[in-house]
Amino acid sequence: MSNILIIKHGSLGDIAQASGAIQDIYQNHPNDQIHILTTQPYVQLFKKNPMICNVILDKRLSRLNLIYLYYLIKNIKKFNFIKVFDLQNSSRSMFYKNIFFPMANYQVWSSSSTTLPKNIDKNDFDKKPVLDRFDHQLKTSGLKTLNTLKPDFNWACEDIDAIKKKFDLKKYIILFPFCSEHLTIKKWPFFNNLIKLISDKFYNQYQIVTAPGPSEIKEANSFNAKPILIDNKSINISQLATLIKDSSFIVANDTGPAHMAAHLGAKGLSLFGKHTSAYKVSIERDNFKAIQVADLNNLTAEKVFEQLILNIN
């Protein structure tokens, strides 16, 4: 039995996207143990993944912090990993390659760089859909891929019967009107208009709720929807996954919960402006669709509501 390392630091949406690739790595190494290197927000989440035998914390301290790097290298090397699958494909993970396996090719260190197709520039390759890039990476590394193009994030779910009882959740629509402070270009400004359209059409047929993260709780009060909080704190990722999975519909900005919804099989819509394309981030699934516009400020609530009506049943 050998040890295999996967690197996946985050973010939340990226972890949902990588679920199929992780499953294929696991299934192609039935006699090996799969370890994952990740960051603090996702340690407990990955501990729930039945395909992962061990979670290694990367605090991602400064690369100039030689003491931290020394102990991280020591911790990594004790497992004698025979292969590394870099699913983060970042400058940081390539920095680690140069430390752990400086001379390794794709047979030892599988990344988008080591498996880059011949005669194609890395910048051009990165324009392809993220799941297609994962699929190429794993196939070039000799794996048979059955799940990479169709991630399943259901492993992340946990029981939320107590939450449903507390908020009397039966049929409900979840809105994710939030985004990172430095990515306001992703924010659609008409969620309250949409809430009114939903309420006028359906009356009390659906509850309208939000599920704010820790930095979004204050903002959640500006929307005419019930925030799902426990003791005034955000629910955890696994609780959020089940809340999304069991919902009647999702409407979200291009954020982590949108990608979770896509790979949990939930019905819903994600709203995209010019910051990126739904095609590139591989978010559209059978039940989950996207609306792509040049400027989110010009996307009306009526247009979004029209798509909700077409897809909610």
| pLDDT given at position 184 | 80
Do residues 286 and 267 touch, judged by C-beta distance below 8 A?
no
Q: How far is residue 116 CA from its own chain's centroid?
A: 23
* Domains 3-152 and 156-311 belong to one CATH topology: yes
Q: Give the strand pairing for 109-110 and 33-38.
A: unpaired
pLDDT higher than threshold 90 for residue 49: yes
| pLDDT given at position 118 | 86
130-187: pLDDT as tens digits: 999 999 999 999 999 999 999 999 999 999 999 999 999 999 999 999 987 777 889 9
| pLDDT given at position 121 | 87
How many CB atoms are located within 10 Å of the residue 275 CB? 13
The domain locations on the chain are 3-152, 156-311
Q: What is the rounded CA–CA span in Å between residue 304 and residue 195? A: 11
| pLDDT given at position 313 | 80
61: which residues sit within 8 A by CB, 6+ positions away? Answer: 68
292-308: pLDDT as tens digits: 999 999 999 999 999 99
Q: Is 3.30.70.20 the CATH classification of the domain at 156-311?
A: no
What's at 162, amino acid-wise?
A
What is the pTM (predicted TM-score) of this model?
Answer: 0.94
197-249: pLDDT as tens digits: 999 999 889 999 999 999 999 999 999 999 999 999 999 999 999 999 999 99
Q: What is the rounded CA–CA span in Å between residue 210 and residue 221? A: 10
Q: How far is residue 249 CA from its own chain's centroid?
A: 18
- CATH code for the part of the protein at 3-152: 3.40.50.2000
